[in-house]
Amino acid sequence: MTYNLKQFSLMDRDRDGKKDDPKPDTECRALVQIIGEIKPDILAVQEMGSETFFNAFQAWLKTEGVEYEQVEYLQRGDRDNNLAVLSKFPIIGRSHHTNEWYSIGKAKLPVTRGFLETEIQVSESYSFHLINAHLKSKVYNRLGQTEMRRNEARLLNKVVRKVLEENPDCNLLVVGDMNDNPNSAAIREVTGKSRKNLFDLRPQEKAGDAWTYYDHSAELHTRFDYILANAAMLEDAIPEKSAVIRHPLSYTASDHRPVMATFKAH
């Protein structure tokens, strides 16, 4: 399951100019209730706060009977918009891709949130690489938020290609909040333009909807959250057991809905 938690961190929620307000308990309870009902074996999250908040998140999960023995957390400096992977299976490999840079004109920029790569051993004969990503938001930037996101997507594809070059037969998933639509340049960059390295599983809910993000100000539903698989892992996907999660508490928990995919380990 991949899930953007919507600012599980200190934020200026009361607009007094100070970032000192945690995510409200009502939102936290809604988050963990949704996760607790699904109980995914592996959970990749975005918009995680400091390590203190990551520990608090795990404590919240325990109240719903969900515990993960294996975790990996990626924090970029003092940022409150971090990545984490929680797994019931052993994490046997960890890589923090935090030194990826791109240029727009004279400006040289880092990938803001980095990419969190793990390798997870499901059984003696089955493992896979999981890359958790959260690309540049659609918030205005004078350099062009669309171009910034496209460049981050290109560098994410570079990480994907490196994994597949080093491990041609490996299973690979890329998950997370890509902050763009399925037909966007950013998604084409991630999956590969000239050679397709990743395939969109496009989980959907029972009604057939695949949207994952609700923009309240624009009253717009769209799909920003993805589970992308390479050809090897695609063969193990079970589409009928994969879904965008519809839940009565979805809007309370986050502005994103969680996306789940199921695979057969062999």
The torsion angles phi and psi of 197, rounded to 5 degrees, stand at -95, -25
Topology given in CATH for the domain delimited by 2-260: Deoxyribonuclease I; Chain A (3.60.10)
Question: Bridge-partner residues for 222, per DSSP?
Answer: 213
- Domain-by-domain residue ranges, the chain? 2-260
CA 218 from chain centre, in angstroms, equals 23
Long-range contacts for 23-28 (Cβ within 8 Å, ≥24 apart)? 26/252, 27/252, 27/253, 27/254, 28/60
Residue with tokens 């959907």: 204
Tell me how far apart the alpha carbons of residues 84 and 74 are, in angstroms, rounded to a whole number. 6
Per cent of the chain over pLDDT 70 is 99
What integer is the mean pLDDT of 188-211?
Answer: 94
pLDDT band, residue 78 (cuts 50/70/90) = low
What integer pLDDT is reported at residue 83 of this predicted model?
A: 98
pLDDT bracket for residue 193 (50, 70, 90):
confident
Q: What's residue 84's pLDDT? A: 98
Beta-carbon count within 10 A of 208 CB: 6
Residue 94's pLDDT is 97
Considering the entire predicted model, what is its pTM? Answer: 0.97
Residue 126 one-letter amino acid: Y
Phi-psi region of 177 (alpha: psi -120 to 50; beta: other; left: phi over 0): beta
